[in-house]
Amino acid sequence: MENELIPSGLKINRPEPILGEVELVSFVKETAIQDAIQALFSGRYVLIEEFYSNGLELLKELQHFLKKKHPNETFLEQREFRAEYRKLSNLILIEIRAHQLNVKKAPLIGWLEKLYPETPDFLLSFPQIQGLNSAWQWYCNGVVIPGIRDKVHPYYGVYFPTRFEHIHLFDNWLKHYQGHKKTAIDVGIGSGILSFLMVKHGFQKSFGTDVNPNAIVGLKEAMDGTKLARKIEIDYGHLFGKWEKQTELIVFNPPWLPASYDLGRLDEAIYYNEKLFPDFFEEAKNRLLPEGRVVLLFSNLGQITHLTKDHPIANELLHGGRFELDKCFKKAVKDASTKTKRNLHWRSTEVVELWVLKLK
């Protein structure tokens, strides 16, 4: 089935469906949990067949079992625990029939139709379904973003902010911005938040890009039939994509953490590789009008979590020879909620930053 909101050739990110014949061990209410766990350990798939909650119970028991197996709190044991849990929990499957979960008392997950228009019947793992379910809740309920009138409904697999200090910084900076407001480029547009703010503050046009196809598809869908569709144009591409023309403002809220080798899953919304910033600055130099500004949102998260001593923007200013500092604004991040169990003491020293650069 053709989906006109998905530009041709764009392959959306989604959990890979399991199709065709798979050998399965059935799990129903009466199945002994130990037998199911045994089957998982022998590498077999276990299919949840009766109630959705049976899947939740099995996951809980599996976690319990693995906690006993890896009782120590050491970093290594915890990592082994997580790796084994990830591997075994992904052998727990659930069937999708006619785009719906084929078990009783299951949540309705609209992504099953939106992301798999051509495949009504398939299998996914239970953790994947949980991920799709929570993303569907975010999408349906929407997120209130300070400074933006309408709620944002984040598309599956697209970054959206859950803390807003950097958004406040940008909104405030735009309030006092005195330059021209004809065009801007929004590199890594995500759910569109920075562009929405620029349009609110009177920019006539924003040209966005993203390397994540879901961001492009989601934003097209969100803007479809609205006035924003004429103000914000998007391109699926690296850094500046097809936007060649010079502009008065370039904004980029890049990933804030350096990618390191022992990270299992690289997420381009969160981790940057060593080429990202040098390439960005080199291209930005050619796209910026003489009086234009580059605005970057950043944080000291990489430094305070000891992932790096480097600051890619400070590095550019020191060694790049292309830009100089116009202004830098900083805002402390509020302490993490006291309800949070994890040890987030470093939050108290986290600071978000808004850097304004101009050409040398």
Ligand X SMILES: C[S@@+](CC[C@H](N)C(=O)[O-])C[C@H]1O[C@@H](n2cnc3c(N)ncnc32)[C@H](O)[C@@H]1O
Is the Cα torsion angle 53, 55, 61, 64 positive or negative in sign?
Answer: negative
Side-chain-side CA neighbours of 193 within 13 Å: the count stands at 28
- Answer for which of 36, 193, 288, 301 binds ligand X (CB under 6 A) is 193
The span of 40-48, 79-87, 206-214, 317-325 binding ligand X (CB under 6 A) equals 206-214
What's the closest the beta carbon of residue 292 comes to ligand X, in angstroms? 18
217 sits near ligand X (criterion: CB under 6 A):
no
Among 154, 157, 161, 213, binds ligand X (CB under 6 A): 161
Amino acid at 279: D
**Shortest Cβ 274–ligand X spacing (Å):** 12
Distance CA 59, CA 62 (A): 5
Based on the number of CB atoms within 10 Å of its own CB, is 120 exposed (0-12), middle (13-18) or buried (19 or more)? middle
The residue within the footprint of ligand X, chosen from 31, 128, 253, 299 (CB under 6 A), is: 253
Ramachandran bin of 51, using left for φ above 0, alpha for ψ from -120 to 50, beta for the remaining angles: beta
Specify the stretch interacting with ligand X by CB under 6 A; choose among 8-16, 185-193, 199-207, 228-236. Answer: 185-193
- Backbone φ/ψ region at 178: left (φ over 0), alpha (ψ -120 to 50), beta: alpha
Contacts of 95 (CB under 8 A, 6+ apart): 47, 49, 101, 102, 103, 121, 122, 123
Which has the closest alpha carbon to 38: 78, 65, 57?
65
The region of 67-75, 90-98, 122-130, 188-196 touching ligand X under the rule CB under 6 A is 188-196
Give yes or no for residue 218 binding ligand X (CB under 6 A): no
194 binds ligand X (CB under 6 A): yes
Distance CA 43, CA 60 (A): 18
Termini Cα distance of the chain: 52
3-class DSSP state of 51:
strand
Is 301 among the residues that bind ligand X (CB under 6 A)?
Answer: no
94 and 102 Cβ atoms separated by less than 8 Å: yes
| 153 in contact with ligand X (CB under 6 A) | no
**Segment near ligand X (CB under 6 A), from 175-183, 211-219, 303-311, 328-336?**
211-219
User: According to the binding rule CB under 6 A, does residue 249 interact with ligand X?
Assistant: no
49, 165, 210, 353: residue in contact with ligand X (rule CB under 6 A): 210
For the bound state, the minimum distance from the C-beta of residue 232 to ligand X, rounded and expressed in Å, comes to 12
Q: How many amino acids of this chain bind ligand X (CB under 6 A)?
A: 21
Binder to ligand X among 255, 292, 302, 312 (CB under 6 A)? 255
Alpha-carbon torsion 88, 94, 96, 100, what sign? negative
Could you give the string, one character per residue 266-285, with x where binding to ligand X holds by CB under 6 A and - elsewhere? --xx------x---------
- Of 58 and 215, which CB lies nearer to ligand X in the complex structure? 215
- Shortest distance in whole angstroms from residue 238 CB to ligand X: 5
Q: Which of 62, 96, 223, 239 binds ligand X (CB under 6 A)?
A: 239
Give least dist CB 272 to ligand X, A.
Answer: 7
Q: Applying CB under 6 A, does 188 fall inside the site for ligand X? A: yes
Q: What burial class does residue 176 get, using C-beta atoms within 10 Å of its C-beta: 0-12 exposed, 13-18 middle, 19+ buried?
A: exposed
Kindly list the residues in this chain that would bind ligand X in the complex (CB under 6 A): 159, 161, 187-191, 193-194, 209-212, 215, 238-239, 253, 255, 268-269, 276
